[in-house]
Each structure stands twice: as C-alpha cells, then as structure tokens.
Amino acid sequence: MKCPFCSHLDTTVMETRISEEGDFVRRRRLCQACDKRFTTYERADVSFPAIVKKDGRRIEFERSKLRASMNLALRKRPVSTEQVDSAIERIEEKLLGLGIRELGSQRLGEFVMRELRKLDKVAYVRFASVYRNFEDIDEFKSVVDEFRK
C-alpha cells in the first residue's frame, strides 16, 4: 500500500480489525520511510446490475438514489433510519442474488414497494402513486382497498 504522505510503497500493517457488522476490515499501517501512520479500509467489491430506465437508458445502481426515493415516501412518517437501512440492505441483497447484469427500473420499483409496504402503509401509497403514475382517485382507492382486506 502506498503511503499517502510520502508515496513510499513499503508499509507495514500494525493492527487489523473487522467491523462490528463484518462488512469491512480496518487496518492501521506504518510507513517504513517516513514513520507516519494511516488507516485503510478493505471492503468487498460487488457489482450491482445496471438499471434500465423506461426510455431505454442504462444507469448505474446508486444506493443514495434508492435512499432518497424511500426517504421522500417516508417523509414525516414514524420509521427509523435503522429500519430504512435494513430495507435498503434487503433490496441490495435481492439485486445481488439475481445474478443479472441489467434490471428494469419497474422491477426495482416493485422491490421498493414491497419493502415500503412492510414499513409504512402511507409511504407505500405515496410511492405507488408516483411509481404507477396514478391518473385518478379510483387508482388511489384500489390501493387503499388492498389494505382493508
């Protein structure tokens, strides 16, 4: 590992720790040339499928976009950050488990709606109204009626 201070290539690992969640390794290193210490993090390099939009464009999956859309639906709702994080992790696990290179945005939206339905019914209806592009009140009514059954 190259030293960030002097660019020397010879560094020694002084200490290694695995995170509590087990998703990364933290290493304290010492540069053999300048004697400065620094920290590196080692994470698994995973490849999510590209998302194919309705117009045919392909974009990279971005966790931040997923979080933003879920947070918008969950705005002012009694759902904790930890619950949202867990839902996002479940969606990411599904994406990785599919083992495909591309995924339609509609299918990703279905995954999100499934998780929102578990978290908060109001957020689910909010997201569904935008995702399914509701045109009139009857479409809202049919989604609300799903919960009454």
Domain ranges of the chain: 11-43, 50-143
52: which strand partners? 58, 104
Residue partners of 119: CB distance under 8 A and separation at least 6:
74, 79, 83, 84, 87
Read off the pTM: 0.64
As a whole number of angstroms, the distance between CA 33 and CA 11 comes to 8
Q: How many CB atoms lie within 10 A of CB 105?
A: 15
Model pLDDT, residue 144:
73
pLDDT exceeding 90 applies to what percent of the chain? 65
For 16-68, write each residue's pLDDT tens digit.
Answer: 999 887 878 999 999 999 999 999 999 877 789 999 998 999 999 999 999 99
Model pLDDT, residue 95:
93
